[in-house]
Amino acid sequence: MCIENVEIICIGQALLDCIIKGQNINSHHSTAGIADSITLSPGGDAFNESVILSRLGHHVQIMCGLGCDSAGDIVTNTLKENAVNTDAVIYSNTDQTPVAALLVNTDGSRRSINSPAYLVKFFKPDVSLLKRTQVVSLASLFRAPLNRPDTILSICQTAKSTGALVAADTKLAHYGELSLEDIKESLPYIDYIFPNETEAEFYTQKSTYSEMADVFLNYGVKNVIIKTGAKGCFVKNGQECFSVPAYNLTAIDATGAGDNFVAGFISSILQGAGLRDAVEFAMGCSALCVQSIGAVSGVQNRAQVEEFISKQ
C-alpha cells in the first residue's frame, strides 16, 4: 500500500554486496587469495537512495524485488531499521535476491561481478501506488525493472499526472541494452537526470560534458547533472550551465557515491534549495560516502552533512 506521508518513492534495485577490498593479486596460490577485508553490505541503487534519504529526515518508500532468502532478509531488515517503508517490496519464492561481488581497489575504484538474478524478472512496479508523493526516483534507469520502455513510460506518466517530480539515475545495463531513442517518450517527463561521465558518453556518443548534456536536453529532460567523479559534477539546463568541483579528500570506497549524491540532491530540492545549493549538498553526501566502506556507511544524518560542508 502507499502510506499517506510518503515524500519520495525510490524504484529500482536492492541487493546484497560482497565487498572485497584490497585484493592482493601477487599473493594468489592456485586455489586461494588474500584481500584486506571482505564484508557483506546491503546495496543497490534504490536501497542506497532510500536509506540515505530516510537518514536525511524524509519519509521514503522503496519499490523493488527481493527473493525469499537470507540475502533478502538482510536487505529487508536493514531497510526497516532505517525507517524505510517496505510495503511495496515484491518477494519471490522462486527467484533469488541479487548478490553482487564488488572488487574495490586501494584508490577506491571498483569493479562488480553480477549474475542473471539482477534481472528480477518477477518484479514489475505497481504504478497505482505512485500517489500522494512529491518525488518519484528512478534509481536504476536502464537496469531491470527499469529496462523496459513501457514500464519506464508508465511510471513517468503516472508520477507527473499526480504532480510529482521525476528524478532518474542512469546505469550501464548488465544484460541487454536500451538507447535514449528507445525511451524518448519518457525523457520529457524527467525533471533531473544524473548520469556519470561514462554513462553520459555511452548514451550520447559525445565527447564533452556540454555536448552530452545537450543530447539529454534535446530529448526533453529538464536538468542534466553529470557526475564526474574526482572532478565533481557538471550541470546544465535551458537557462544555466556550471561545474562544481569535488572536495579534496582520499577516497576509500566509491561504492554508492552516485546514489548518495542523488539522495542528497533530492533531499535538498525538497528543502527548497536552488540548483547550485542542491548540487553542493549532494557533493557533501557523496564525499562522506567515499570515506567509508559500503554504500550507506558514511552519511548518518543531515546535521553531519551540514557540519562537513561548513568545515570545507
| Interval 153-196: pLDDT, tens | 999 999 999 999 999 999 998 777 899 999 999 999 999 999 99
Report which DSSP code applies to 27: G
- Kindly state whether residue 25 falls inside one of the protein's structural domains: no
Q: How far apart are CA 60 and CA 310, in angstroms?
A: 27
Residue 66's nearest CA partner among 127, 117, 130 is 117
Residue with cell 559534477: 233
Residues 229-253 have pLDDT tens digits of 889 999 999 999 999 999 988 888 8
Domain range spanning residue 129? 8-14+45-91+118-311
Q: How far apart are CA 87 and CA 73, in angstroms?
A: 14
Q: Residues 6 or more apart from 122 whose CB is under 8 A from it?
A: 65, 90, 92, 94, 95
- Kindly state whether residue 211 falls inside one of the protein's structural domains: yes
Torsion over CA: 191, 195, 199, 201 (sign): positive
> Is 127 in contact with 153 (CB distance < 8 Å)?
no
Residues 18-64 have pLDDT tens digits of 888 887 666 556 677 788 888 888 999 999 999 999 999 999 999 99
- Kindly state whether residue 3 falls inside one of the protein's structural domains: no
Lowest pLDDT segment from 26-35, 64-73, 130-139, 294-303: 26-35
pTM for the model stands at: 0.91
CATH number, domain of 288, equals 3.40.1190.20
- Kindly state whether residue 270 falls inside one of the protein's structural domains: yes
Report which DSSP code applies to 96: P
Element (H, E) at 62: strand 60-63
- Kindly state whether residue 33 falls inside one of the protein's structural domains: no
- Kindly state whether residue 286 falls inside one of the protein's structural domains: yes
Structure confidence at residue 2 (pLDDT): 42
- Kindly state whether residue 300 falls inside one of the protein's structural domains: yes
Q: Which three cell numbers stand for residue 252?
A: 576509500
- Kindly state whether residue 220 falls inside one of the protein's structural domains: yes
Structure confidence at residue 176 (pLDDT): 73
Structure confidence at residue 24 (pLDDT): 67
Number of domains in the chain: 1
